Structure formats: C-alpha cells, structure tokens
C-alpha cells in the first residue's frame, strides 16, 4: 500500500480542534474540583454554587 500523508493544513486544523476540545474539559474539571471551596467562600449552598458554575 502507498503511504499517503495528510496535507499540512488538514493536520493543523485537526490539532486546533483537539486543543479546542481538551481545554474546556480541563477547565471544567478544575472548577468542579473547587465547587466545595467556592461554596464555603461565598457562603452559598453546594447546589447553588454548582448551578452558577454550570
């Protein structure tokens, strides 16, 4: 079989899409870990804090 390579533009777009998908997941993970602390700092219930974060 021939070794076909993707054009450089397609690979660049693929990397942009991957980074665009990974960064929001990382951000939401960081915020969700801090929900309990945020609830304490703002003297709010866990439910309200989670709703605001969402």
Q: What's the start-to-end Cα distance of the chain, in Å?
A: 49
Q: What's 50's DSSP letter?
A: H
Distance (Å, rounded) from C-alpha 15 to C-alpha 53?
28
Distance (Å, rounded) from C-alpha 52 to C-alpha 49?
5
Summary mean pLDDT of the chain: 89
Taking the model in full, what pTM does it have? 0.55
pLDDT, tens digit (0-9, with 9 covering 90-100), for 9-30:
999 999 999 999 998 888 888 8
């Amino acid at each position: 079989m021939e070794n076909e390579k993707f054009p450089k533009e397609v690979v660049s777009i693929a990397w942009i899409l991957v980074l665009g998908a990974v960064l929001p997941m990382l951000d939401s993970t960081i915020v969700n870990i801090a929900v309990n602390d945020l609830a304490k700092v703002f003297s709010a219930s866990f439910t309200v804090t989670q709703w605001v974060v969402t």
